[in-house]
Chains A and B, each alone.
Chain A
Amino acid sequence: MYSYSPQPIHSDDHSEFADSDHLFLQVPAMPEQVGLVRRQVADFTRRQLWGVDDADALLLAVGEACNNAINYGQKDVLDPLLTVACSRLSSDELRVDISNQGNGFHPDLDVLARLPEADEFATHGRGFCLITALVDSVEVLSDGVNTTVRLRKSRTVGKNL
């Protein structure tokens, strides 16, 4: 059980709550927001004293999941939102939920996880493969209205920091 005393930050275009074990961000589901999300998640992993390799891997996976949410979700939603929630599950494990309004992913994860052949010039289809390679587990949760990609990653470097 974790105590959660969020510190709210609001601006015109995004909401944010953060404490030492959590980060909650809600931003317009627009490409220009993904950089902001990555920087906030990077700050969060830095606060957990994660090493560069693990932090970079998680950051790349989060970035790809945000891209998918923006590209494939919320087609029929006016002013769609992208929600990112980070939680420290233990000293060595983080969970990040990336949610969008709509069906953001193909329902067959095996299809998504299949990497295009290296000599194929397909310009899409590598994002989900990267996510699965970079984190320990990926779940796609959908209730028909919202889709959440849940990433879990354990620290592999500097566990004794």
Chain B
Amino acid sequence: MSNVRYTEDHEWIRLEGDTAVVGISQYAQEQLGDVVYVELPEVGRKVEKGKEMAVVESVKAASEVYAPISGEVVAANAALTAEPAKVNADPMGDGWFVKLKIANKAELDKLMDEGAYKKFVEGLH
């Protein structure tokens, strides 16, 4: 079973022990188009579920990325500063945004699993 969960704002979160890796979904990167800039939070910053955590900018527009759960930023993907196009090329892998120390694991249960997210995205068309 996949340990990846999704939000209705198209962030994904993958559990890795006590931390979680966060990024934006394949659907999100397709909708954004070519990513030209990513603004990431500083390590140590406390983020709150549903609140702005990062900014991703395409040629056309800036979009906010929200924290899927509350927690503390323990790592940010500095490679995106030099190569923001990684978000398009590999949104679920090299294009990750931050790693969070999870404040409350129960918050993950409220997020969509792969199947539910797939249905959610299909419903948007």
Q: Do A and B bind each other?
A: no
Identify the A interface with B (CB < 8 A): none
